Amino acid sequence: MRRRWWLAVPLVIFALFLLAVGWRLSAPPDATVKSRLVGRAMPEFQLPAATPGRPDLRSADLAGGGPKLVNLFASWCVPCIAEAPVLGELKGRGVTIHGIAIRDAPADVAAFLRDHGNPYRRIGADPRSQVQMTLGSSGVPESFVVDGRGVIRYQHIGPIMPQDVPTVLAELEKAG
């Protein structure tokens, strides 16, 4: 039997393919996009109130005072509902939370706050995601820890779940 080495070339290429793909399956890609603004000052913005009768949100509100959490949410976002009680708990522990309602309508935001509680001191409306884009955020919910001088210290992508609370509290502590 004549053996020709090049007949095994397809097999070798396929083995390489399997290795690469197997590696990817075992290490799923990190699909989250970290904001480049972490460590920098909050960009300037002025957002109108998300619901009538509640305070609006400006970047100036974030520049002073102690550390705070800025939470991007929306009434149409299901994970935000899951996150709501955790934000309530953080508020109970004395954390200042400001909200930015993404692509939302005032009546929907009001209904959301009524049904799931209102942990927010101020809520700005960002109906066309302009501030969200500027912040380098790619979805809702997302939260930023901002220190007393208005510098972004930490970004949390996705809902803050009970197991994330210690991390978020520690980051707020560090920013203080």
Binding residues for other proteins (CB under 8 A): 1-4, 7-8, 10-11, 14-15, 17-25, 28-29, 76, 103
Which stretch of DSSP H or E encloses residue 166? helix 165-175
CB of 118 to other proteins, least distance (A): 23
Nearer to other proteins, 25 or 64 (CB): 25
Nearer to other proteins by C-beta: 7 or 52?
Answer: 7
Q: How far is the CB of 164 from other proteins (least distance, A)?
A: 23
Residue recorded with tokens 């708990």: 89
The nearest distance, CB 2 to other proteins, in angstroms, is 5
B/e letters for 51-81, b = 16+ CB within 10 Å, e = fewer, are: beebeebebebbbeeebbbbbbbbbebebbe
Dihedral over alpha carbons 164, 169, 174, 176 (to 10 degrees): 150
Minimum distance between the CB of residue 12 and other proteins, rounded to whole angstroms? 9
**Cα gap 27→157, rounded to integer Å:** 19
Q: Which is nearer to other proteins, 89 or 108 (CB)?
A: 108
